[in-house]
A and B are shown apart, each in its own frame.
Chain A
Amino acid sequence: MIRDFAIVWSERDLLLSGLGNTTILSVLSAIAGLVIAFVLTPALMSKRRWLALTVRVFVDGMRCVPFLLFAYIVYYGLPSFGIRLDNWSSGLVALTVYHAAYLAEILRGAWVAQPREPIEAGVAFGFSGPRLFRRIILPPLLLAAGPVIGNQMIQIVKDSAFLTIIALPELTHAASSIQSRHYVPFAAFITAVFLYWGLCLVIEAGVSGIDRLASARR
């Protein structure tokens, strides 16, 4: 068994690049997903019913679809429409779009739970449109929803592992390669598991940092 881990150690570059790719993939799609959610959430709350309804259908639709199938559609299905993306782009697009829907719903939930008066004060003090959202509504939302957003980030990390199926060289894919090359399945995958755990602990530490910021403002 020690020998198995020695083999994994000898392949550490592969594993680390897998970890790096998982991190890059997760961070990029978390940021992009949040940015998209910043547009979707006000649309969900919009008084224009057709807009709210359209976005609602998209958000609920995504929440009913397994991520893996969505990723398949993006990777194998889009070429039917003449859109051909390589595995990196499809992986990123799939992760981003899918989780943007979840993040939008999370922010909407936090928004509904916010007291109305401070937002109204924003309007009364001359804020409107995107500036009202960005300066007055959004910051308390992010603070209030911090832990839930953190959970979603963990979900993003985990969903990125699905992308091994479209041969994206992320962490699980790296572990798979090592296992098939040297036949050390336990050592390879358990190492990957602990690396995922480490990533999630980092995210949780970040969340508790945000929570400290939030509690000073509550």
Chain B
Amino acid sequence: MTNDMAVLDVAGISKRFGDLQVLSDISFTVTRGETVCVLGPSGSGKSTLLRCINWLERPDAGQIYLNGDRIGINNGGVVMSDRELSRVRTRIGMVFQHFALWPHLTVLQNLMEAPVQVQRRPAAEVREEAMALLAKVGLSDKADVFPARLSGGQKQRVGIARALAMKPDVLLFDEPTSALDPELVGEVLLVMRELAREGRTMVIVTHEMGFARDAATRILFMDRGRVVETGPPERFFVSPDTERARQFIQRYAAG
């Protein structure tokens, strides 16, 4: 059921909060090197979907596989313990809308924290990689600064570097630029474009249509908890199959 190239395989995920059905039977796969952009109106369940993938939110139904390994349910068929979940989660990088950097740690320490404390990798080796990642996002000079001293754009670049430091199989982004001042969006998107070019496997929830159009390999359009349409950006943006998608594109193209 999982094809060889599938890094992430989401099969029939559903989730409800009380009376509200937030996700209904969501299925899709992400193959190695893909950049999948998830679009959709506010409240359509995009964040919830990402949070279900790494079980920050426990899905009510469906399965999620990461490189063939079931997430959330162990081999015995029971829900994973916190420790087991933690181990799987280190293979999924996450970038948050409000950065979610750890305020008590310097930039470098933010990058090193999970690899050293959770993955138990040698600190010296992690430090070297972390410095390289900081160079890559253009923040070498900020290594020993606390997050509070950074601009929003710099914070989010640290957030991305922090996710990369765990060497995850897949990166999840939840609206990584929507908390930024307009003039700071570009520097973050630049880094993300670079990652896409390198062929990182990514799932990106975004409202940046320009970015989705030229960086995504595939668009996933959600509405009211369902995947309404999926396809390559050229087709999605030019001739969408559904009326909903057409309206959505029009609204955002105008705005």
Contacts and interface: CB of A to CB of B under 8 A. Distances in A.
A29 B149 CA distance: 36
B96 A218 contact: no
Contacts of B146: 216-217
Contacts of A139: 104-105
Contacts of A136: 102, 113
B102 A118 contact: yes
B89 interface: yes
Interface string B50-65: 0000101000000000
Interface stretch (A35-43, A127-135, A149-157): A127-135
B148 A129 contact: no
B56 A115 contact: no
Contacts of B118: 125-127, 131
Interface in B73-123: 82-83, 85-87, 89-90, 92, 94, 96-105, 113-114, 117-119
A37 B65 CA distance: 40
What interface size band does chain A fall in? 20 to 34
A149 to B, nearest CB: 15
Contacts of B99: 117
A121 interface: yes
B166 interface: yes
Contact of A216 (B82, B94, B117, B148): B148
A147 to B, nearest CB: 16
B104 A129 contact: no
Given A125-B90, A126-B90, A140-B103, A115 B98 contact: yes
Interface of A: 115, 117-118, 120-129, 131, 135-136, 139-140, 143, 216-218
| Leading 9 A-B pairs by shortest Cβ distance | A121-B100, A117-B100, A126-B90, A128-B82, A139-B104, A125-B114, A126-B118, A126-B86, A124-B94
24 contacts: A115-B98, A117-B98, A117-B100, A118-B102, A118-B103, A120-B56, A120-B96, A121-B100, A121-B101, A124-B94, A125-B89, A125-B90, A125-B94, A125-B114, A125-B118, A126-B86, A126-B87, A126-B89, A126-B166, A127-B86, A131-B118, A139-B104, A139-B105, A218-B148
